[in-house]
Structure 1
Amino acid sequence: MKDQFKLFLSLLIVFVTFLNQDVLAWGHTGHRAVAEVADNHLTKKAKKQLQAILGDSAYLPMVSTWMDDIKSDNKYSFMYTWHFINIDEGQTFETLERNPKGDIIKTIEEMKSVLKDPSSSKRQKAQAVKILTHLVGDLHQPFHVGHASDWGGNKVKVTWFGNPSNIHRVWDSEMLGSKGLSYSEIAKYVDHATPEEVKVIQSATTVDMMQESYALCTNLYDVGDGKLGYRYLYDNYKTVEERIEYAGIRLAGILNDILG
């Protein structure tokens, strides 16, 4: 009986870990920072259209975490695989066997189609905005395009200032959290692209965005002795800021193209 309990406990830990992988890119603070940057770059027409679609919740930072907020509701469990796409070493996006349940690339394109479709209901469009706002942020977290073999970096164990962690979690929230800033403070600090730079940043396709993240995470798998702290933060925080800035600017570009 004791051995059976130990086996059950081990399986439960693995199961919970699996459920929690790849779900909280950037954490709530990072997602809201992405959405705040996007809000800064929306056209007046796009903002008006969002008001009509979202009603009282027509503020992107407040809907940006919806896909994480509902993860405990079983009726939304089918959305789990939408948060990421995993590409192992030796694979390419073109040769990858895509998940039949969907992935982040497919879902972003589908949500864009929902918003463009005049026959889509207001409810469908509202959900599409929430999903797009979240997933464009997810796509810019490098380990949401990490290796399938290590669950997008979740199995790459490290310590963060002496505390047990993994490389996915470090990039999700721990580097951002270490600064102690609000989402609006982060957005204000990172959002400094010129109009010319904005145009270039927004020219990226969804696959381009994925390829950027994949190129980054491929190098980020080298964690040395795994003891991460001040030096790692110093070396990588600028990349975190850039990914948040790019995600927000590109989200605005997508919404402006469709609604503005």
Structure 2
Amino acid sequence: MRKLILPLILLSITSPAFAWGPIGHRVTGAIADRNLSGVARANVQLLLGDEDLAQAATWPDDMKSDPADFWQKQASPWHYVTVREGDAYTSADAPPEGDAMSALARFTATLRDPAASMDDKRLALRFVVHIIGDLHQPLHAGGGNDRGGNDMKVSWFGRSTNLHSVWDSAMIEQRSLSYSELADWLARAITPQQIIAWNVRDPGTWIRESIALRKTIYPTDTSLSWDYAYQHRVELDDRLKRGGIRIAAYLNWVFENPQDQNPSQAQTPRKPARHK
């Protein structure tokens, strides 16, 4: 399936359907690209050719305009998880199609399956990169009561939107940086100590971090502007940086240790249904 380039209006901050906006996802992909091992990089190039991880990171969102049932129904819930009680993920609140956690397990299995086709592995790689980025957006580990902040109506510098969109795109775009500029700024700020500390492949840990942050970002005043952006910029940058490092750590693990057990045992991996 060829990459679909969509009008920018579909990626605007008013859309409730996207995770990190295109800039945020490309930032995590670009940071990941800098931290791949030699083996992982070779496998990525084998599957993607000239397409780098920054490009691959937005592909599952780009394809949301494809009318096929695979994109409109089956794959739609694979961008988030719901944790209604406590801080630990369970599969109890996942819809029948699965969620980001179960999809990550399925696509990981596809990447490691020697019998899987190149097309299926290419699809799996793009989803793995995207899903890991999604799970670092705090509102993609929602509590099940407001659609991950989509129902939390706010204004952003006087423009009507919702809290989810503020975290997906608005706070990132407010800085007027290209994805490559922002990725370079953030990557240069990551220390060797942080790379070691953040080398965590367990998605349950990423989700717990996102839940902890999500509980602190709901504003009492819904008119958001400079104060809110300043208050949460360090946290947002931290999630982008960790997301990039974890994409690389996960892919390094997948390609260098193909027989290792999946770090999440929440659901037995299954191969995703074939897309058309």
Shorter-chain TM-score category? 0.7 to 0.9
- On the 8 A contact 2:53/2:129 being kept in 1, the answer is yes
- On the 8 A contact 1:146/1:218 being kept in 2, the answer is no
User: Could you tell me which residue of structure 2 aligns to residue 15 of structure 1?
Assistant: none
- On the 8 A contact 2:89/2:207 being kept in 1, the answer is no
State the SS of the aligned residue for 2:97.
coil
What is the alpha-carbon distance in structure 1 between the residues aligned to residue 93 and residue 18 of structure 2? Answer: 24
Higher mean alpha-carbon deviation, 168-177 vs 24-33, is at: 24-33
The alignment status of 1:167 with 2:163, answered yes or no, reads: yes
The one-letter code sitting in structure 2 at the alignment partner of 1:62 is Q
User: Could you tell me which residue of structure 2 aligns to residue 233 of structure 1?
Assistant: 229
State the SS of the aligned residue for 1:215.
helix
What is the alpha-carbon distance in structure 1 between the residues aligned to residue 180 and residue 234 of structure 2? Answer: 17
User: Could you tell me which residue of structure 1 aligns to residue 67 of structure 2?
Assistant: 74
What is the alpha-carbon distance in structure 2 between the residues aligned to residue 92 and residue 74 of structure 1? Answer: 34
**Per-residue deviation at 1:113?**
1.3
- On the 8 A contact 1:201/1:250 being kept in 2, the answer is yes
State the SS of the aligned residue for 2:160.
strand
User: Could you tell me which residue of structure 2 aligns to residue 47 of structure 1?
Assistant: 41
User: Could you tell me which residue of structure 1 aligns to residue 204 of structure 2?
Assistant: 207
The alignment status of 1:154 with 2:147, answered yes or no, reads: no
Alignment gaps of 5+ in structure 2? 1-14, 257-276
Q: Percent identity?
A: 35
State the SS of the aligned residue for 2:155.
strand
The alignment status of 1:141 with 2:137, answered yes or no, reads: yes
Deviation string 1:26-81 (CA, Å, 9 cap, x unpaired) is 21111000000000101122111111111232x11111111111101122221000
**Per-residue deviation at 1:204?**
4.5
State the SS of the aligned residue for 2:116.
coil
User: Could you tell me which residue of structure 2 aligns to residue 251 of structure 1?
Assistant: 247
Alignment gaps of 5+ in structure 1? 1-19
- On the 8 A contact 2:30/2:180 being kept in 1, the answer is yes
- On the 8 A contact 1:25/1:144 being kept in 2, the answer is yes
State the SS of the aligned residue for 1:158.
strand
State the SS of the aligned residue for 2:126.
helix
**Per-residue deviation at 1:226?**
0.5
State the SS of the aligned residue for 2:75.
helix
User: Could you tell me which residue of structure 1 aligns to residue 115 of structure 2?
Assistant: 119
State the SS of the aligned residue for 1:42.
coil
- On the 8 A contact 2:24/2:179 being kept in 1, the answer is yes
What is the alpha-carbon distance in structure 1 between the residues aligned to residue 239 and residue 114 of structure 2? Answer: 32
**Per-residue deviation at 1:181?**
0.4
The structure with the larger Rg is 1
Query: How much is the aligned-residue C-alpha RMSD, in angstroms?
Result: 1.6
What is the alpha-carbon distance in structure 2 between the residues aligned to residue 204 and residue 233 of structure 1? Answer: 29
- On the 8 A contact 1:147/1:153 being kept in 2, the answer is no
What is the alpha-carbon distance in structure 1 between the residues aligned to residue 205 and residue 162 of structure 2? Answer: 26
Higher mean alpha-carbon deviation, 138-147 vs 32-41, is at: 138-147
Instruction: Name the CA shift for 1:224/1:253 in 2 (closer, same or farther; >3 Å).
Output: same
**TM-score normalised according to structure 2 size:** 0.82
What is the alpha-carbon distance in structure 2 between the residues aligned to residue 45 and residue 93 of structure 1? Answer: 31
Give the number of aligned pairs.
238
**TM-score normalised according to structure 1 size:** 0.87
Instruction: Name the CA shift for 1:85/1:225 in 2 (closer, same or farther; >3 Å).
Output: same
**Per-residue deviation at 1:225?**
1.7
User: Could you tell me which residue of structure 2 aligns to residue 102 of structure 1?
Assistant: 98
State the SS of the aligned residue for 2:216.
helix
What is the alpha-carbon distance in structure 1 between the residues aligned to residue 139 and residue 162 of structure 2? Answer: 11
Higher mean alpha-carbon deviation, 86-95 vs 142-151, is at: 86-95
172, 176, 181: which one pairs with 2:172?
176
User: Could you tell me which residue of structure 1 aligns to residue 57 of structure 2?
Assistant: 64
Deviation string 1:6-44 (CA, Å, 9 cap, x unpaired) is xxxxxxxxxxxxxx53x3222111100000000010112
User: Could you tell me which residue of structure 2 aligns to residue 30 of structure 1?
Assistant: 24
